[in-house]
Amino acid sequence: MLSGAMPRRTPPLRWLGSLTLAALAQVVGCGSSHDPPSTGFDLPTAETLGGQILTSPRVQPIYFSGFPYGQEMDTFLQLMAGSAYWPEVVSEYGVGALTALAGYPTAVAVPADVTDTQLPDLLSQVFVEGAATLGPPRGDTVYVLFLSPATTLTAMGQVFCKDFGPGAYHDEWTVGGVLVAAAIVPACTASPFDDRLGGADVLTPSVSHEIVEAVTDPFGSSSPAYTGIDGAHVLWAMAVNGAELGDLCENEQPTLVSPSDIGFPVQRIWSNASAHAGTGPCVPVPEGEIYFNAVAAMPDHGNFQDPSGATFSVPVVNAKIGQASSARFSFRGSAAAPATLFAAAFELDDPQSLVVEVPTVVTGTLGRTLSVPVTTSQSTTTGVVPLVIAATDASRTAVHLWVGGINRN
């Protein structure tokens, strides 16, 4: 799936924040056993499909009339470019220093209701208007279009900033005969990640997400780069609605960090190096966080066909169509991980799975093998679909996902 032009998914699993500790204290005692603690998390590897990345990227903000946070965005982008966050999240993928250019306020008019098909022409008009300031379009630059709160954006069939829906996306367009990377950021007033955020802080997590993806996968349709995942873990991309570096982490909690050298919230980004080191796949790692997860046994294999038509043999649990099922898993982490952990399992059998499924939560400790019921929303699902295990601790401040497969036959 080419996720470069896909809207971001609202973080699911809010059930973990609303459950009482009493509800979390359901122990599945039958069939459990004790094994030596393991830090083998069986995590995916983000892979390039061989396309172009931006090794020395520039970012050019463009502010359409009515966008209220131009000064804040200029400050944020300058700080992010000079921060420790930037190299931490992109250097292992071959991307170097970011040059943040001064924002350009444009007088080009945007319709009150604008669609993704209209945006390339609007950017073309901006280049005509601002030729003396912007120069010609450049392929090494991410052009970030900031829209007014009075503008309603519809892209890929979704209305942005509505009911905690998608908040930004990035794309590739040909402007003035040059293929350019663009990010589109409407002025949402509420954050799907943290409802305590307001003002420019609502937008900076989306901006960080899209710029990171736009430099590591700038031309995701014509020349896809870091939008791949290793074949054994392809179901992760289906579970989190994308395999770009920001997509893979936006469902972790905490999703956001506020680095001291930036001062604005940014999204954590997938790191192969950190995943393989066992410190957790999403960086920066919040101070004091000790990574843990619940890893399920996948004793069988099934064939999964992705939306492009490619077929993969993936690890699965076999289960009968429409019948109750369960997954055996163990809590894993270092000895410093929380003593008591909780987990639940979801079968992603339709787009509403994580919204309507009410899971059974089990509790245990590191090294203990348990059985968790698999919560479903459909009784007629056939074939291989993602099986998501979500793990948390007693404070419920950290949530880590693990994805396997369930094969209904």
Task: Give the domain-ending residue among 192, 216, 240.
Answer: 216
Residue 12 belongs to some domain of the structure: yes
User: DSSP state, 253?
Assistant: B
**Residue 17 pLDDT class (50, 70, 90 cuts):** very low
Nearest Cα neighbor of 169 from 159, 177, 179 is 159
Kindly state whether residues 323 and 195 are assigned to the same domain: no
What are the residues whose beta carbons fall under 8 Å from the beta carbon of 339, sequence distance 6 or more? 365, 366
Of 201, 216, 231, the last residue of a domain is: 216
Please write the tens of the pLDDT for every residue from 216-228: 999 999 999 999 9
Contacts of 348 (CB under 8 A, 6+ apart): 238, 239, 354, 385, 386, 387, 388
Quick check: 327 pLDDT over 70? yes
Average pLDDT taken over every residue of the chain:
89
- Cα–Cα distance, 348 to 384 (Å, whole number): 10
pLDDT at 139 over 60: yes
pLDDT at 367: 87
Number of H helices, E strands in the chain: 10, 25
Q: Strands, E, within 7-91: which ranges?
A: 33-34, 46-47, 58-63
Range of the domain at 10: 3-46+288-408
Answer yes or no: is 104 within a domain. Answer: yes
Give residue-wise pLDDT tens across range 101-128.
Answer: 999 999 999 999 999 999 999 999 999 9
| Residue 292 lies inside a defined structural domain of this protein | yes
Give the best-scoring range by mean pLDDT among 30-34, 209-213, 309-313: 209-213
The verdict on residue 53 lying in a domain is no
Co-location of 146 and 116 in the same domain? yes
204-216 vs 70-81: helix crossing angle, rounded to 10? 50
84 and 16 in a common domain? no
Q: Give the domain-ending residue among 168, 198, 216.
A: 216
Q: Is 207 found in the same domain as 139?
A: yes
Distance CA 36, CA 34 (A): 7
**Given this model, what pLDDT does residue 7 score?**
35
Residues of the chain above pLDDT 90, percent: 78
Look at residue 166 in the predicted model and tell me its pLDDT.
87
Residue located via tokens 């943290």: 194
Whether residues 201 and 298 fall in one domain: no
Residue 333, pLDDT score: 94
- pLDDT for 107: 98
- Residue pLDDT, tens place only, 60-108: 999 999 999 999 999 999 999 999 999 999 999 999 999 999 999 999 9
Say yes or no to pLDDT of 354 above 80.
Answer: no
pLDDT at 39: 62
Structural domain count of the chain: 2
Co-location of 64 and 192 in the same domain: yes
Name the band, by pLDDT with cuts 50, 70 and 90, for residue 401.
very high
Residue 46's pLDDT band, with cuts at 50, 70 and 90, is very high
The answer to whether residue 142 scores a pLDDT higher than 90 is: yes
Q: Does the structure show a pLDDT above 90 at 1?
A: no
Residue 42 lies in a domain: yes
Most confident of 32-41, 158-167, 269-278: 269-278
Residue 238 lies in a domain: no
pLDDT band at residue 12, thresholds of 50, 70 and 90?
very low
Are 40 and 72 in a shared domain?
no
Query: Could you tell me the CATH number of the domain that includes residue 297?
Result: 2.60.40.10
Q: Which is more confident, 75 or 324? A: 75
Q: At residue 10, does pLDDT exceed 70? A: no
Query: Are 95 and 207 in a shared domain?
Result: yes
CATH number of domain containing 169: 3.40.390
pLDDT, tens digit, for every residue of 167-211? 999 999 999 999 999 999 999 999 988 889 999 999 999 999 999
Inside any domain, residue 17: yes
Within this chain, do residues 211 and 304 fall inside the same structural domain, yes or no?
A: no
Regarding whether 358 and 209 lie in a shared domain, the answer is no
- Classify residue 279: in a domain, yes or no: no
pLDDT at 370 (0 to 100): 95
pLDDT tens digits for 368-381?
Answer: 899 999 988 888 88
Whether residue 39 is found in the same domain as residue 80? no
Residues 201 and 333 placed together within one structural domain of the fold: no
User: Which residues lie across from 392 on neighbouring strands?
Assistant: 342, 399
Report the percent of the chain where pLDDT is more than 70.
90
pLDDT confidence tier of residue 164, bands split at 50, 70 and 90: low
